[in-house]
Structure 1
């Protein structure tokens, strides 16, 4: 997936992306979030800036709450 480095990615974007990963890989929220961090962020939380990383964390928490 190509993403503009200058863009601020929303929580909704990450919720959709994480759910897509969960469905495609048939994995848990934790595994999907770990995968997104490694593959999408290249293991560096600053790749797309603090705003996008914060939204990523919020999305992981939101999805985890729904899974309980």
Structure 2
């Protein structure tokens, strides 16, 4: 997915992205979350700003509560 570095990414964006990773890699939510952190954020929570990283964490928590 192409991302505008100046944009603030939403929780919905990250939920969709996590679902996509889980579907294509047939992995767990935790594995998808780790994959996103390493590949999307390049191992640095500040890559897309504090707002986007916070929404990434919220999205993972929201998605987890829906599948548990």
Under a length normalisation based on structure 1, what TM-score does the superposition of the two structures give?
A: 0.96
Counting only pairs closer than 5 Å after superposition, residues 1-68 of structure 1 correspond to structure 2 as 1-68=1-68
Q: Secondary structure at the match of 1:57?
A: helix
| Cα distance between partner residues in 1 of 2:38 and 2:45 | 9
Gaps of 5+ in 1: none
RMSD value, Cα = 0.6
Aligned residues: 68
Structure 1 residue runs of 4+, over 2 Å off?
Answer: none
- How many angstroms does 1:4 deviate by? 1.0
Structure 2 runs not aligned, ≥5 long: none
If the length of structure 2 is used for normalisation, what is the TM-score?
A: 0.96
